[in-house]
Structure 1
Amino acid sequence: MQYTHLGRSGLQVSRLALGTMNFGDATDEATSFKIMDAAVDAGINLFDTADVYGGPQSPDMKRGYGLSEEIIGRWLAQAGGRRDQVVVATKLYQPMGLGPNDKYLSAYKIRRAAEASLRRLRTDHIDLYQMHHIDRSTPWEEIWQAMEQLVREGKITYVGSSNFAGWQIATAQSAAASRHFMGLVSEQSLYNLTARTIELEAIPALRHYGIGLLPWSPLGGGLLGGVLQKIEGGRRTSPRMRETIERYRTQLEAYEKLCAEIDEQPADVALAWLLHNPVLTATVIGPRTVDQLTRNLRAPDAVLSEDTLRRLDEIWPGPGGEAPEAYAW
């Protein structure tokens, strides 16, 4: 496994991060344990979760939310020394109850959410505490004050964001700098060959501030994992997926043909393309089975030539570069 710094921090993390959104939902606890065992054995040391993961991400469903953290917590407690083997990352923002203060990023919510996640994870500290979305109604002075307090208490070590726009990243860092606080070290964004909007402004902002990118949905919801091959092999798909496949069929055919030409699996190519970006720290994979995890482990070692990268850009064009040159002189 390859390792790199989490953004500009001194923390070393694996180039693949284990995403655990499926734990407790599509993946049962026993299988989740096996996946975590296999991940550590393979050298993956960054585990990513969120307080809402584990089922329908809505508190009125009364099922599942918090379960992913609980499963990780039970796994961490199973044997001595496990906690020191992994960098635990979780998130807050989404509703964890039906009360008016059970969501978003008020100082009140941040304190309560962190303490609840610590209980579910059965640990005394969270290594990377991530804001799952921007809160447009809470001032940064309040957010950073709450995060600073958690750092002072030893309950969190680093702070990250998720789904932030470029200007929001800049605003957050400006406010943190005025408080002599480190601010963000990572940002989780939707990024893959089919979704390249963040190349316009978010990626330039991350590069400028030394914030590591952690892409989620690196395989485009399965589109980039050889979906046409799987259908030809008898794999069933949902009506929604079939509709998406037809929308992208021409590109998918060209993509899978290119992967065959260079003798690489489509999923490996999609992940390797992401890892080629110097702003990227690690890509978040979300295996539902040990076999899926195993198949993704080769991606960091896959080498894509300049010609292959050029052809991928032709098949899956981005927004035209970075702003403003993407749309102006």
Structure 2
Amino acid sequence: MGKEGVHVRIKDQTEIQNIMDAFASYGHTDIDTSRVYSEGTSEETLRDLGVPTRFKVSTKIFPVQAGDHRPERLRETVQESLKALGVSKVPILYLHAPDTATPFEETMLGVQALYNEGLFDEFGLSNFATHQVVEIYMLAKQRGWVVPTVYEGMYNALSRTAELDLFPALERFNIRFYAFSPLVGGLLDPSLSMTTQVPKGSQFDPDTPVGQMYRARYWNKKYFDALGEIHKAVANHNMTAYEAAMRWIVHHSKLNAARGDGIIIGGSSYKEITGNLENTVKGPLPNEVVDVFEKAWEEVAGKCGPYYL
């Protein structure tokens, strides 16, 4: 979501408002954004539509350049986000990815200063490897600083590497996990194949950085062979692979609802997002569909990328 003139899927303010109304109708209260989304206009659009007055809007700080997580630069970017959102604080402030040019101790000094000033309530991490999560948590704990309590990572029926070492670490430190890309980045579209010419600007456009990233992760024979079996199984039960994937992550994944784990719902239109919301409230999958997801994961596990971008 964002403003005209930048690369965004949803620009119409009426459509965005309708999406927010639908989201609220399901009882949901938390909105996720980032300073870099839609070239910064995602936060501004949410502000202009009054979203922060209706929902808890959290944001993330991505290290666009080396050194962006140094205390002074971190402060500047957080202040830009708060201004863009029209708020004095956010519920959760995330580091969107590691800034490898800045030692974690230096970054955490900046994070703690912002926390002391009351600019956020909870501290989160996204796209950090397990050993980095442990390092940051232990450093913060030893220094008496704010510790991370939320982690955003990639997790879905065909991308489960987070289960191996990240989930045990989060369990140990009582850190919630919020899953992004629950629908395998759009790969579940039955019209897709290895030879498909995708539309310009779409998720798998090979000429864009995002498209190149998702192609490197999913665009291979192992995944498409597995998808063929999934499409056959879901057709037997009159559902789409998108519906099945959403029901899988709600009912059959290793997310821990008792700890507060959650799913980040997205989409490129009102129709997509409302459809995804509807699928979250449907029941568990038939055994045949659960089994085909398990077999598919066994087939693609060796080709699967990490849970961070």
The bucket for the TM-score relative to the shorter chain is 0.7 to 0.9
8 A contact 1:188–1:216 mirrored in 2? yes
Name the counterpart of 1:169: 133
Residue 56 of structure 2 corresponds to residue 87 of structure 1: yes
8 A contact 2:91–2:121 mirrored in 1? yes
8 A contact 2:17–2:49 mirrored in 1? yes
Structure 2-normalised TM-score? Answer: 0.79
Name the counterpart of 2:198: 237
* 1:239-283: CA deviation from partner (whole Å, max 9, x where unpaired): 957983866332112112222234433212212222332347222
Structure 2 CA distance for partners of 1:145 and 1:94, relative to 1, 3 Å = closer
Residue 221 of structure 2 corresponds to residue 260 of structure 1: no
Higher relative contact order (Cα pairs below 8 Å, separated by 6+ residues): 1
Match of 2:101, SS?
A: coil
Structure 2 CA distance for partners of 1:245 and 1:42, relative to 1, 3 Å = farther
Tell me the distance in 2 between the aligned counterparts of 1:21 and 1:205: 35
Name the counterpart of 1:269: 244
Q: What residue identity is the alignment partner of 1:278? A: L
Name the counterpart of 2:17: 33
8 A contact 2:155–2:181 mirrored in 1? yes
Residue 285 of structure 2 corresponds to residue 304 of structure 1: yes
Match of 2:37, SS?
A: coil
More helix by share: 2
Residues matched between the structures, number? 276
Tell me the distance in 2 between the aligned counterparts of 1:94 and 1:169: 17
Tell me the distance in 2 between the aligned counterparts of 1:22 and 1:165: 33
For residue 170 of structure 1, report the CA deviation from its aligned partner. Answer: 0.6
8 A contact 2:108–2:140 mirrored in 1? yes
For residue 219 of structure 1, report the CA deviation from its aligned partner. Answer: 1.5
Name the counterpart of 1:122: 86
For residue 159 of structure 1, report the CA deviation from its aligned partner. Answer: 0.9
Using the aligned pairs only, state the percent identity: 25
Structure 1-normalised TM-score? Answer: 0.74
Tell me the distance in 1 between the aligned counterparts of 2:197 and 2:131: 41
Match of 1:298, SS?
A: helix
Tell me the distance in 1 between the aligned counterparts of 2:28 and 2:89: 19
Q: Which runs of 5+ in 1 are unaligned?
A: 1-19, 55-64, 77-81, 321-329
Structure 2 CA distance for partners of 1:268 and 1:27, relative to 1, 3 Å = same
8 A contact 2:2–2:11 mirrored in 1? no
For residue 52 of structure 1, report the CA deviation from its aligned partner. Answer: 0.8
Q: What residue identity is the alignment partner of 2:42? A: S
Q: What residue identity is the alignment partner of 2:77? A: A
* 1:265-317: CA deviation from partner (whole Å, max 9, x where unpaired): 32122122223323472222222211111101123333135664333111222
Structure 2 CA distance for partners of 1:255 and 1:90, relative to 1, 3 Å = same
Name the counterpart of 1:17: none
* 1:120-147: CA deviation from partner (whole Å, max 9, x where unpaired): 0011111111111112232333222222
* 1:156-179: CA deviation from partner (whole Å, max 9, x where unpaired): 111111111111111111011112
Structure 2 CA distance for partners of 1:84 and 1:72, relative to 1, 3 Å = closer
Q: Cα RMSD over matched residues? A: 2.9
Residue 286 of structure 2 corresponds to residue 286 of structure 1: no
8 A contact 1:29–1:71 mirrored in 2? no
